[in-house]
């Protein structure tokens, strides 16, 4: 599977414009469906005071809103940089058909955007993570899953 350089160039231009405009970091993303741009996104973390407003997440949110669904079956995402763990998970949850990226995670790290610690944290046991993660009221919390199992109107995802 080969990507379309035109869509990648658009993602790169969105990333550069994000920096030049002062809106956010150097990241851009384009969601494509059937050869047409469905949605775009650029990094809006500092502009929106939202640590989840990475370019890929912004583009996915826009594409889903446009399609009226939470699934992006058949869509490709072009991102100016290799997705971070959060964005990669969002892309998988959205069920995109392919990911095309420009810069690598190592390139991002060289520019001061190093996600390596996140990959390391995920692999650590809970008691060794840098932010305490503590199980609390599990027996009570399971009631939400029981309600989900019993809810006839649920939408599987």
Asked if residue 15 lies in contact with residue 30, where contact means CB atoms within 8 angstroms, the answer is no
The residue among 52, 56, 58 whose CA lies nearest residue 76 is: 56
The active-site residue, picked from 56, 76, 82, 127, is 56
Which residues partner with 32 through β-bridges? Answer: 37, 76
Is residue 13 part of the annotated active site? The answer reads no
DSSP string over 34-72: TTEEEEEEE--HHHHT-TT--HHHHHHHHHHHHHTSS--
C-alpha to C-alpha distance for 93 and 118, rounded to whole angstroms: 19
C-alpha to C-alpha distance for 123 and 15, rounded to whole angstroms: 30
* Residues present in the chain in total: 157
C-alpha to C-alpha distance for 90 and 93, rounded to whole angstroms: 5
- The set of catalytic residues is 56
């Amino acid at each position: 599977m080969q990507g379309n350089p035109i869509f990648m160039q658009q993602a790169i231009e969105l990333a550069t414009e994000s920096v030049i405009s002062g809106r956010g970091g150097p990241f851009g993303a384009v969601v494509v469906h059937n050869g047409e741009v469905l949605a775009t996104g650029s990094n809006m973390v500092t502009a929106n005071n939202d640590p989840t407003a990475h370019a890929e997440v912004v583009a996915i949110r826009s594409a889903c809103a446009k399609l009226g669904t939470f699934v992006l079956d058949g869509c490709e995402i072009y991102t100016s940089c290799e997705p971070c763990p959060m964005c990669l998970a969002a892309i998988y949850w959205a069920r995109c058909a392919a990911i095309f990226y420009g810069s690598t995670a190592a390139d991002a790290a060289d520019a001061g955007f190093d996600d390596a610690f996140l990959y390391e944290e995920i692999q650590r046991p809970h008691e060794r993570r840098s932010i305490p993660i503590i199980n609390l009221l599990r027996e009570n919390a399971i009631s939400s899953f029981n309600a989900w199992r019993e809810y006839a109107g649920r939408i599987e995802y």
